[in-house]
């Protein structure tokens, strides 16, 4: 498959998973706790099963590293090319009735995200991107290009985590920068707000896993933004244990960069 075909597959699966997630929320569900005390629901498992089946049927032999399979004990070693799947990013938002939850399907090559789809089940939107080609918002049957912006003169719009923030670290990082406002979002939608030019900066001081960030990083970088560790290195993939370091997402870099 070409990258365009791979992205179309990811977008379609993200959309299908979103429909399944919303159907489960509409009829009600139970919330459980995993060993790390994070929440998980029937919707997480149903969406992941749908995505895994779709990827493995279309791409026999592909490696897919998916959150709930790993939580269930599946062991994988990174290869030159593999998929990362978070079937329901923002389960806390989902289970509490919020809208800021997402479906993340991303492809890694040689340690870097190359394409991804981020579905937003509550709105029916899907963000997608191929690094080096472009990024798009899919909504109501239309596909509209999106681009990260240069920060406006009035200052940075900063997006921050709604549930996992470290306010002291955030305040220290923003000290000395011109900030117009700070807005809280859940899940990988924070990346997408930067990618579509609605925000400029997303610093993350807290634990994330590679399946949380691969797809939205691909979307953001495809839209002209960047994702870096705190020492300025690219955020890479295939790390032992799939844990990410702290990182910062930027739109197009300006004087506050």
User: 20 and 122 share a domain?
Assistant: yes
Strands 81-89 and 64-66: parallel
pLDDT at 176 over 70: yes
pTM: 0.93
> pLDDT grade, residue 256 (50/70/90)?
very low
Residue 93, pLDDT score = 83
Total domain count for the chain?
2
- CATH number at 188 reads 3.40.190.80
Residue 165, pLDDT score = 61
* Domain span holding position 68: 3-146
In-domain check, residue 257: no
User: 70 and 10 share a domain?
Assistant: yes
User: 66 and 24 share a domain?
Assistant: yes
Residue 27, pLDDT score = 85
Compute the average pLDDT of residues 105-109.
98
pLDDT at 34 over 70: no
Compute the average pLDDT of residues 167-181.
92
Give CA–CA dist 235/228, Å, rounded.
5
Residue pLDDT, tens place only, 55-69: 999 999 999 999 999
- CATH number at 68 reads 3.30.540.10
User: 28 and 116 share a domain?
Assistant: yes
User: 19 and 102 share a domain?
Assistant: yes
Give CA–CA dist 231/104, Å, rounded.
26
User: 136 and 236 share a domain?
Assistant: no
Start-to-end CA distance of the chain, whole Å, equals: 37
User: 136 and 219 share a domain?
Assistant: no
Q: Which of 146, 172, 202 is the last residue of a domain?
A: 146
Residue 168, pLDDT score = 87
Alpha carbon of 161 to those of 15, 88, 146, 175, 192: distances in Å? Answer: 24, 16, 22, 18, 13
Residue 255, pLDDT score = 45
């Amino acid at each position: 498959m070409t990258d365009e075909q791979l992205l179309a597959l990811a977008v379609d699966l993200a959309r299908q998973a979103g429909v399944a997630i919303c159907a489960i929320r509409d009829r009600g569900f139970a919330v459980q706790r995993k060993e790390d005390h994070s929440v998980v629901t029937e919707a997480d498992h149903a969406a992941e099963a749908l995505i895994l089946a779709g990827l493995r049927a279309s791409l026999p032999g592909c490696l897919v590293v998916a959150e709930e399979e790993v939580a269930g004990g599946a062991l994988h070693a990174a290869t030159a090319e593999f998929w990362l799947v978070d079937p329901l990013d923002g389960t806390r938002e989902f289970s509490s009735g919020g809208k800021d939850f997402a479906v993340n399907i991303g492809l890694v090559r040689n340690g870097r995200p190359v394409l991804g789809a981020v579905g937003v089940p509550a709105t029916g939107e899907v963000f997608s991107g191929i690094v080096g080609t472009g990024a798009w918002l899919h909504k109501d049957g239309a596909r509209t290009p999106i681009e990260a912006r240069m920060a406006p003169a009035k200052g940075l719009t900063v997006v921050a985590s709604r549930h996992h923030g470290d306010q002291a670290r955030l305040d220290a990082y923003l000290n000395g920068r011109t900030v117009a406002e700070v807005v809280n979002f859940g899940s990988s939608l924070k990346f997408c707000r930067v990618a579509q030019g609605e925000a400029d900066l997303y610093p993350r001081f807290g634990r994330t896993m590679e399946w949380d960030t691969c797809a939205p990083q691909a979307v953001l970088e495809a839209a002209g933004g960047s994702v870096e560790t705190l020492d300025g290195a690219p955020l890479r993939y295939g790390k032992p244990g799939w844990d990410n370091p702290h990182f910062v997402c930027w739109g197009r870099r300006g004087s506050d960069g």
